[in-house]
Amino acid sequence: MCINRWTKTLRPYRRTRWTPEEDANLIAAVDACGKVWSRVAQRVKDRSDAQCRERFTNKLDPDICVDDWTPEVRSSMLLAV
């Protein structure tokens, strides 16, 4: 697991921040290939499939809800904890 994390995500030359151009390429690649990350990564220069997956699913996916929690959701979460 450690070597996989190193080679797929943490290599120093791959730890740079994503540029707006890379984000645009990633979105276009997902539109073209779907969520087949090995194919997506081939279209995004110098990024691994894991990096592409993490960036898209955590930051760029249009299905991500970024709105503030409603009072009902907030209270149900507090009760659950």
Distance of CA 13 to the CA centre of its chain: 18
Nearest of 34, 39, 21 to residue 61 by alpha carbon: 34
Q: Where are the domains of the chain?
A: 2-80
Q: How many CB atoms lie within 10 A of CB 44?
A: 25
CATH for 2-80?
A: 1.10.10.60
pLDDT, residue 12, reads: 57
Work out whether the CA dihedral 68, 70, 73, 75 comes out positive or negative: positive
The model's pLDDT over 18-59, given as tens digits with 9 standing for 90+, comes to 999 999 999 999 999 999 999 999 999 888 888 899 899 989
Q: How many CB atoms within 10 Å of residue 48?
A: 17
The first and second tokens of residue 72, run together, are: 């009902």
Of 4-13, 50-59, 63-72, the range with the lowest mean pLDDT is: 4-13
Q: What percent of the chain has pLDDT over 70?
A: 89
